[in-house]
Structure 1
Amino acid sequence: MAATLRDIASRAGVSIATVSRILNNDSTLSVNENTRQRVLSTAEELDYTKHKRTRSDQVQRVAIVQWYSLTQELDDLYYMGIRMEIERSAQQRGIQTVPIYQNDLEKIPRNVTGIIAIGKFSDSQVQELKLVTNNIVFVDFDSLAAGYDCLVPDFENAVHTVINEFLDEGIQDIGMLAGTEKTTDNEVVPDLRRRYFEADLRQRGIYHPEFMFAGDYTSMSGYRAMKKAIEELGDKLPHAIFIANDPMAVGALKAVQEAKIDIPDRLAMISFNDTAIVKYVYPSMSAIHVGTDEMAHAAVDVMVKRLAHPASDPCKTVVGTHLIKRQTTK
């Protein structure tokens, strides 16, 4: 006897309506990916004939590779926001997604038709992804030289905007809390924001290496780096600081408040990313806003084009940024 929607619903533990909407790729349905995959797998197991598709109408299945673990995501909403919006956008386009965390490349199903990779990747990891499929789109990682589509924020103009803002406020002594990080296979990833920051200040003749601090993109590292800078520099602490991401900015803000340093009159601060956490700290943090939703939607668009035209030349998309001023700048 042929399987029915009721059979699938019973085995998958969902309603018949949910089964019907999932099998018909209803983009308005709000359901988590585990449920979606369970229903689709059940339909295949029961050989549900109405779910069978011709080869030309095969649903695309794309792995979403997040370089962070689930725990790390909670400390950096930037990458979580990108991943979630990619999954949502892909679902609306009728694309099935398979989440993979912490670059656990061995868990990528070999039958995926594409990979959207979020975060930072070593050369060897890029080669591993290539063994699965050539249809790869990297997000927040410049892979154009390696021959793959990518989407990156406009770091260069973002840094110029920050420096110009501080200069407009009459501040010449400007520091930076930059990030240092490694891929999951321990390859060091340079911070492009730091490179552009140092080059810009050197060109203006106001670069001071003693005003450069480093963390690992976590809030605790931001707190420790800022606390150390306050203790070692004392009255010579710069009057403005640019911070490479929001978690470090929140940690640095705590250290500044503990030292009872006036913000923004004695120390102006600007973060990068503009996730929810910098909007609701006190004082609220001025930040360079990166359009994570736009980046995610564009990543899915690029993947759709790549799947349709796999032999086309790779492209690099630079996503614009802008400064949102709050209480940590004048």
Structure 2
Amino acid sequence: MATIKDIAKKVNLSIATVSRVLNDDPTLSVGEETKRRIFHAAEELNYQKHLMKRVKKQLRIAIVQWYTEQEELNDMYYYAIRAGAEKQIENKQYEFIRLFQHADQKIIKKIDGIIAIGKYSESQMKQLQQWCPAVCFVDNRYAFPMYDSVVGDFHLATVSALAHFISRKHTKIGMLAGEEKFTDSTEMLADPRYESFRRYMKEKQLFKEKYCFKGPFSVDSGYQMMENAIRTLKDDLPSAFFCANDSIAIGALRALSDHRIDVPNRVEIIGFNDASVAKYVSPSLSTVRVPTELMGETAVSLLEDRIFYGRTVAKQVTLATELVIRNSSR
């Protein structure tokens, strides 16, 4: 088991200095770089006894949401991530502040870390890190390897839904994909679920571009995309659709109902996220469950790891998803 002496030898400092740093001695005057070296060495040597004392430090964490408050109400996915982070912060007896899109950062006093939820461009990520060095991005696949991040395994989630359809002997499978963009750009972001859909379906020699439609992540968009599919494809309408989120799937269900197309006997639907309303729509929605609250909790843990232990190497945590079959598919 590692001792303070081992750490002192590794960083070439006195045992007294190392001990005082590990115990947060307020009378000790050493630079942040020295502290970082000590805690990094302690982490490498798996020295836990005094490291955990630093976890008791009161932290002030900013939770930055790329949505506006109204957009968050319309998409409970990002709300659930934020709720998970806030619950974990409260359990740790830390303090947090909320910042929504376009908030004035100048009014914020000193913070110890940032949890940034949603999609941020490279320039936006740099701005957040300049505001506070300890930052963790959630649901932003563009953050790693430069920044800490927490993401869901969207590729395996997509494959699990498609494999289920194929096991049910579906050969005509469509997708209603999502479209979104950075708040500082007009550039459309590629939906990772669509990328996985296209790749997997091509491997199975089942991909057809005409069965795929794209639009915003909303109920209205889902309705319009399915309406377009029904109108343009007619008798060639796929017997199964994978939807990029539950809002899109719910809109698609409404369009199918309005056209008296039976779900699941004529068309099966699988959504994504397992929003709280998914089990209450008619028919109840099959979907991919994403551990949104755990994503928020994990972001807090990554911040602690960076703040308390001086970790400098970016870390990405990928969380598994679960396919939930209800009445919109069989």
- Under TM normalisation by the shorter chain, which class is it? 0.7 to 0.9
* 2-structure distance, mates of 1:322, 1:247: 18
2:242 alignment partner in structure 1: 242
1:137 matches 2:136:
yes
Structure 1 moving runs of 4+ over 4 Å:
55-58
2:290 alignment partner in structure 1: 290
* 1-structure distance, mates of 2:107, 2:82: 16
Alpha-carbon deviations, 1:91-122, whole Å to 9, x = none? 11122111001253635725111000001001
Q: Structure 1 residue 297: deviation in Å?
A: 1.4
CA contact (8 A) 1:158 1:321 kept: yes
* 1-structure distance, mates of 2:199, 2:219: 26
1:13 alignment partner in structure 2: none
Provide structure 2 residue ranges, at least 5 long, that are not aligned to the other structure: 1-53
CA contact (8 A) 2:120 2:140 kept: yes
The code of the aligned residue for 1:123 comes to E
Counterparts in 2 of 1:103 and 1:89: CA distance versus 1, 3 Å: farther
Range with bigger deviation, 277-286 or 182-191: 182-191
Corresponding residue SS for 2:156:
helix
Corresponding residue SS for 1:231:
helix
Q: Structure 1 residue 73: deviation in Å?
A: 1.0
1:267 alignment partner in structure 2: 267
Corresponding residue SS for 1:326:
coil
Q: Structure 1 residue 58: deviation in Å?
A: 5.2
Q: Structure 1 residue 145: deviation in Å?
A: 3.6
Range with bigger deviation, 123-132 or 143-152: 143-152
2:216 alignment partner in structure 1: 216
1:170 matches 2:169:
yes
Q: Structure 1 residue 292: deviation in Å?
A: 1.1
Tell me how many residue pairs correspond in the alignment: 276
CA contact (8 A) 2:136 2:149 kept: yes
1:74 matches 2:73:
yes
* 1-structure distance, mates of 2:87, 2:250: 28
1:314 matches 2:314:
yes
TM-score (ref. length: structure 2): 0.80
* 2-structure distance, mates of 1:286, 1:292: 17
1:34 alignment partner in structure 2: none
1:198 alignment partner in structure 2: 198
TM-score (ref. length: structure 1): 0.80
1:82-101 pair list within 5 angstroms: 82-101=81-100
* 2-structure distance, mates of 1:312, 1:205: 44
Counterparts in 2 of 1:56 and 1:157: CA distance versus 1, 3 Å: closer
Provide structure 1 residue ranges, at least 5 long, that are not aligned to the other structure: 1-54
2:126 alignment partner in structure 1: 127
Corresponding residue SS for 1:235:
helix
| Relative contact order higher in (CA < 8 Å, ≥ 6 apart) | 2
* 2-structure distance, mates of 1:188, 1:86: 28
* 2-structure distance, mates of 1:250, 1:211: 18
